[in-house]
Amino acid sequence: MDRQSTIAFLLIGVVVIGWIIMTTPNQPPPKKKSQTVQVQDTVKKEAAPVAQAQQAEQVIKPDTSSVSKLFAKMNTAENLITVDNKFVRFQLTNKGGKIKRAYLKHYKNWYTDAKKKDLDVYQDNIQLLDVYRGGTFDIEITTIPDRRVVNTRDLEFKPSTTQNNIVVNDKDSVSLYYEYVNASNQRIKRTYTFYGDRYDTHVGVELTNLDSLSGNSYDLVWNGGIRSVEANSYDEANSANASIFMGGEQEKLKAPTDKPAFHGKLDWICFRNKYFAAVIAPDQPDMIDSTKVQGYKEHKPDNGVRDIYRSVISIPLKSASQKNTFTLYTGPIDYDILKKYNKNFDRIVDFGSFFGLSFIVRPIAEYLFMPLFKFLHMFIPNYGFVIIVFSLIIKLLLHPLTKQSFSSMRKMQLLQPKMAEMKEKYKDDPTKQNKETMKLYSTYGINPMGGCLPMLLQMPIFIALWGMLQSAVELRQQPFIWWITDLARPDIIAHLPFKLPIFGIDQISLLALLMGVTTFLQQKMSVTDPQQKAMVYIMPVFLTILFMNFPSGLNLYYFCFNLLSIAQQYYITHTTKGMELVPVPQNKKKPGFMSKMMEAAEDKAKQQQASKKKK
């Protein structure tokens, strides 16, 4: 490999490694010994940490301790209504008249234990809502003129049904409501429509006779965002955010954050972790006055972390009786499901970005890789084998670029003796040396950028693949073979008794090791310059350590891709072994990059000669 190509490889490596570091959590996941801390976040234990959660909540919410006598706190027992459909088990409460829990039936907790005592049958399934901080949104009113805050989370709402368990069959729907009425006949009504085969709920908020009390507006307040549900809380927090979609643009907000309110039309607001989301979408976006999001980081035992968010949607009251309706989605970040809503929910799916060039990366992942990935799964049930076939197809698609890159590098290698001879001949005349260099390139039809340009063109493709495999909910808890039991988590085969400095790694992933070995073999075949031998050892070791915390599905892809690259490189090397440098006939030379380089060199030489004459 010539010097220019080696520098190009190094620059590309720096770009890739820099991007990986920027998008990788810099702390290790929680150790197994501390998993019981997260397991305690169950139905059985929900009452215990309420005081602690409320204390933390004060960081991002106003004081609601003082309320009008018209809005006295409930003093009766809490009553739950359960609504089951195909995908979700909802639990609604009369305390605040809202959805308190949402169990996702098709997604299991990482600590599945169906036989654990005192847990109901759905505790093995993910419960997405933050019960400690309130579940879904509350209605908040600031009274005038005393500026007291009334929050519906502590008010007793009367349900419209006496049933405690409701089942919604496929294609059917069920509606119910909760209503609060005070002594002055001021009413707050919350209606819910559940569908048999959907993750979303249609929610209505109706206020009667509250316009004079509230200063002609009210707030929808969501405290806490959604729960952390993965074993590796740092990895999950790295993907977590709150986002606002308005005016055709998505604004992502990452904790800690306390930006000024966004004013005007709101299409939707979303809270997400790595694989799941809760979305509120007003049916009348123009009715929204402003939207505010705050967030902070909550540190957990054993170096864990979680992003906590709070949102406030302000809505004007334009009449004595007003009803606003919303779509509330609580489910997986699945592109196909979100796309069907026709509300730009699919923008929640994050395919990554290449230094802000998401407009290049996203279409590649959205319209090429994801459809191909799902098409393959229609015929191959095991996602591990899907990834292997997928890597083969991608390698075939990139073969022309790779072949062109290797061919350019091979020509540059053959040109090195002539370059060395020319540099020695004109060592005292840099201008002449540069001109003759351009002439050599032009004579043999070599583009000095031909080796690295095809590799740079592949970068958005690699980033798109990275983003898709890193966040694909389809891979969550999907086994492959043998020791690989979850393609969305690292395939750990051993734990170290210490943490590696800087990286904080204390576990060994076999696929990461295999990826590192194949990277070393690939570098060994590519790097021929003795001065660049260190690169053969440094980069594979660095990447191996870096990939130890990555999902096994991602490591499986890069391992297979490396194997195919080694075979491809071996084939190209042997098919170009007898390549010779042949001057390009004058009549076949095409004006382009090299001709412009020649013109630039000649212009520079003329300028230098003119300046010498003046002197």
Cα distance between residue 167 and residue 337, in whole Å: 22
**Cβ-proximal residues to 280 (8 Å cutoff; 6+ apart), any chain:** 137, 220, 222, 268, 269, 270, 311, 313, 326, 327, 328
CA-wise closest residue to 363 among 488, 463, 253, 472: 463
List strands edge to edge, sheet with 276-282.
158-159, 173-181, 187-195, 200-208, 321-332, 276-282, 268-272, 241-246, 249-253
* Residue 422, pLDDT above cutoff 80: no
Q: What is the pLDDT of residue 348?
A: 92
Per-residue pLDDT reduced to its tens digit, 533-567: 666 777 888 888 888 888 888 889 889 988 888 88
- H/E run at residue 535: helix 533-546
The two three-digit tokens of residue 493, written as one number:
């085969």
Q: What is the pLDDT of residue 13?
A: 54
Q: What is the pLDDT of residue 27?
A: 47
What mean pLDDT do residues 356-384 have?
86
CA-wise closest residue to 331 among 222, 205, 248, 229: 229
Residue with the bigger pLDDT between 138 and 70: it is 138
What mean pLDDT do residues 220-224 have?
91
Cα distance between residue 533 and residue 1, in whole Å: 11
Residue with the bigger pLDDT between 345 and 115: it is 345
Q: What is the pLDDT of residue 305?
A: 82
Per-residue pLDDT reduced to its tens digit, 444-460: 667 666 556 666 667 77
* Residue 491, pLDDT above cutoff 50: yes
* Residue 351, pLDDT above cutoff 90: no
* Residue 158, pLDDT above cutoff 50: yes
Q: What is the pLDDT of residue 37?
A: 34
Q: List the single range of 1-15, 33-47, 464-478, 549-563 with lowest mean pLDDT.
A: 33-47
Main-chain phi, psi angles of 160, to 5 degrees: -85, -5
What mean pLDDT do residues 416-436 have?
75
* Residue 41, pLDDT above cutoff 50: no
Q: List the single range of 54-58, 185-189, 266-270 with lowest mean pLDDT.
A: 54-58
Q: List the single range of 148-157, 448-457, 461-470, 512-521 with lowest mean pLDDT.
A: 448-457
Q: What is the pLDDT of residue 3?
A: 46
Highest-confidence range of 283-292, 435-444, 563-572, 602-611, by mean pLDDT? Answer: 283-292
Q: What is the pLDDT of residue 91?
A: 94
Q: What is the pLDDT of residue 529?
A: 60
Q: What is the pLDDT of residue 350?
A: 86
Mean pLDDT of the chain: 77
Cα distance between residue 136 and residue 131, in whole Å: 8
Q: What is the pLDDT of residue 48?
A: 41
User: Residue 128: which pLDDT band, with cuts at 50, 70 and 90?
Assistant: very high
What mean pLDDT do residues 404-417 have?
74
Residue with the bigger pLDDT between 115 and 383: it is 383
